[in-house]
Amino acid sequence: MRTRTAALLEAGAAGLGYAILSWSVAFVTALGLSQGATFWPGAGLTLSLLVVRPRSRWPAILAGVFVAEVVMDVHFGFPVDLSLAWGVANTAEPLVGAVLLTRAIPGRPDLRHIDVMVRFVAFAVVVGPVVGAVIGTGAGVLLAGDPWWPRLPRWLAGDATGVLALAPAVVAFRRDAWRLGRSSAMSGVILLAVVVVAFGPWSSSIGVGLPYLVIPALAFVGLYAGVGGAAAGVFAVAVVVELVTAAGAGPFAEDGAFHGLVVAQLFLLMAAATALLVAALSAELMERALTDAGLRAEALSDSLTGIANRRLLDDRLTLADRRLERGGGLVVVVLDLDGLKHVNDTLGHRAGDAVLKETARRLQSAIRPGDTAARFGGDEFVAVCEAIPTMGECRQLGLRILEAATAPLEWEGRSVEIRASIGVARADGITSVDAHELLDRADEAMYEAKRSGGGLAIAAEAALS
């Protein structure tokens, strides 16, 4: 019972939405259905509903749209047989597009990917409207003796424009399809200004090509506001073009409203396709850049502690070599935890991992923001610090790290005592050692501290060359 009620409600909602959009277009154009319109948003609504709703709901959606189309056509004075045929055309069109689209892209299409957007355009904007235009025009020719020209291209362009103008806005109505911020807001302001200038009450607009400035303006919106922003911009521009051109005003209506509507259809198709493809390409390139950045960060950071790993440490030491050659100072600290195996054996490896993570955090907080904290391997850590002028400050740095590393750690209500051995090596001026050799000296000093029962050991300062 609930399923049947839900299906009836969905059919009613789909039919009502389709009827409202269709009657609005017919009223605005004041041309009647026999003359056509700039775009047919009902086609976009039906297609988008099929795409975002499960297949079990498709029969109800299509039934609601079919009934709405037939009732409207009969209301406008068309024969019942022709109205039924147009109902078939306007339901077969989105059905074909949705079937092809959902088979090619399972689930809700993510229009932020250029390959998905291309398939969306191919199936929903080209194949589906072709099917609808052929059925609808053929019915008019066979049942009413209407000429196939210009009804066929007008039907095709109107439905294709309707799908491009509305369906992406519905399908892309998801948070991650929008990029909100100052740049996206500015792109919207620019689009608004261009639309006002392009479709203003001056006759020279088309002569100097002002309307075609809307295309790069829409692409600009797609670049900065994402696919959702581009789709919303396309729909807004389509509404403005529909209103202005149908009223016999604007740059496309110089040769009359009907001819202007045909030109406007082609304009909207070009503008919408450009904006949406640019938005999808921009979103995909941005996603790839973020993914690559994440992979690079993951490759250069320790998976457990999040600080630099051995590979990044090696890079930082190489950079430090260049500063040493120019006379800069460098301090390398090696920290080794004593008794981590005992923690693992008595409290478990989760406790041991917690100790490693906390040690990394403490090491990073004990040095300056521009210095490097790295996990060298196992329970051994390294800090690379530059521009520490005196041996006294070098010793203070080692003691600060030792104090931070050996502070008791709370683990599940228990206090965990940590011991550590630290070795420090420093070079100042133009030295005969490089940063990697300084690391070895700090490592040797750390083992000296370990043999002495833990604590701090400082290697002799590297000799000047």
DSSP string across 296-307: HHHHHB-TTT-S
pLDDT in tens, 389-410: 778 888 899 999 999 999 988 8
Answer whether residue 67 shows pLDDT above 60: yes
Whether 237 maps to a domain, the answer reads yes
Q: How confident is the model at residue 59 (pLDDT cuts 50, 70, 90)?
A: very high
Say whether both 336 and 432 belong to one domain: yes
Same domain, 366 and 405: yes
Kindly give the residue spans of alpha helices, DSSP state H, lying in 326-390: 340-347, 349-366
Residues ≥6 apart with Cβ < 8 Å to 223: 187, 278, 279, 282
Q: Is residue 304 part of a domain?
A: no
Give yes or no: residues 316 and 291 share one domain.
no
Strand pairing category for 380-386 and 409-411: unpaired
Report residue 296's pLDDT band, with 50, 70 and 90 as the boundaries.
low
Q: Please indicate, yes or no, if residue 393 is contained in any of the structural domains.
A: yes
Phi, psi angles (nearest 5°) of residue 457: -135, 135
In a domain, 301, yes or no: no
Count of structural domains within the chain: 2
**Residue 394: alpha-carbon gap to chain centroid:** 47
Alpha helices in 126-213 (DSSP H): 128-144, 151-171, 182-198
CATH, residue 370: 3.30.70.270
Query: 26-46 burial, b if ≥16 CB within 10 A, otherwise e?
Result: bebbeeebeebbbbbbbbbbb
Answer whether 245's CB lies under 8 Å from 80's CB: no
Q: Is the Cβ–Cβ distance between 395 and 438 less than 8 Å? A: no
How many other C-beta atoms can be found within 10 angstroms of the C-beta atom of residue 75? 11
| Domain match, 155 and 52 both | yes
**Residue 303, in any domain of the structure:** no
pLDDT at position 285, please? 82
Radius of gyration of the chain (CA): 35
Q: Is 447 within the bounds of a domain? A: yes
State whether 7 and 144 are in the same domain. Answer: yes
Per-residue pLDDT, averaged over 381-392, amounts to 85
Token reading at 288: 């790839």
Averaged pLDDT, 170-181: 68
Cβ partners under 8 Å of residue 256, min gap 6: 248
- Sequence length of the chain is 465
**Domain boundary, last residue among 295, 325, 357:** 295
Sequence-separated (6 or more) residues with CB below 8 Å from residue 464: 428, 429, 430, 431, 432
Please report where in the chains the tokens 């999808």 appear, as a residue: 280
Q: What is the DSSP string of 246-299?
A: HTT-SGGGTT-HHHHHHHHHHHHHHHHHHHHHHHHHHHHHHHHHHHHHHHHHHH
Asked whether 372 and 306 are in contact (CB, 8 A), the reply is no
Tell whether the model's pLDDT for residue 257 goes beyond 70: no
pLDDT given at position 465: 34
Higher pLDDT, 210 or 460: 210
Q: What sign does the CA torsion over 169, 171, 174, 180 have?
A: negative
Q: Are residues 135 and 205 in the same domain?
A: yes
Residue 27 has pLDDT above 80, yes or no: no
Q: Do 277 and 402 reside in the same domain of the chain? A: no
- 381 pLDDT band, cuts 50/70/90, is very high
Same domain, 266 and 376: no
Mean pLDDT of the chain: 84
Taking CA 62 as the corner, what is the angle to CA 6 and CA 242, rounded to the nearest 5 degrees?
Answer: 115
Q: Are residues 317 and 197 in the same domain?
A: no
8 A C-beta contact, residue 164 and residue 125 = yes
- What does the pLDDT look like over 334-380, one tens digit per residue? 999 988 888 888 888 899 999 999 999 999 999 998 899 999 888 99
- The parent domain of residue 372 ranges over 310-458
Sequence-separated (6 or more) residues with CB below 8 Å from residue 75: none
Q: For residue 447, what pLDDT is reported?
A: 92
CB 316, CB 384: distance < 8 Å:
yes
| Conformation bin of residue 306: beta by default, left when phi > 0, alpha when psi is -120 to 50 | left
Residue 91 confidence (pLDDT) above 80: yes
Question: What does the pLDDT read at residue 462?
Answer: 55
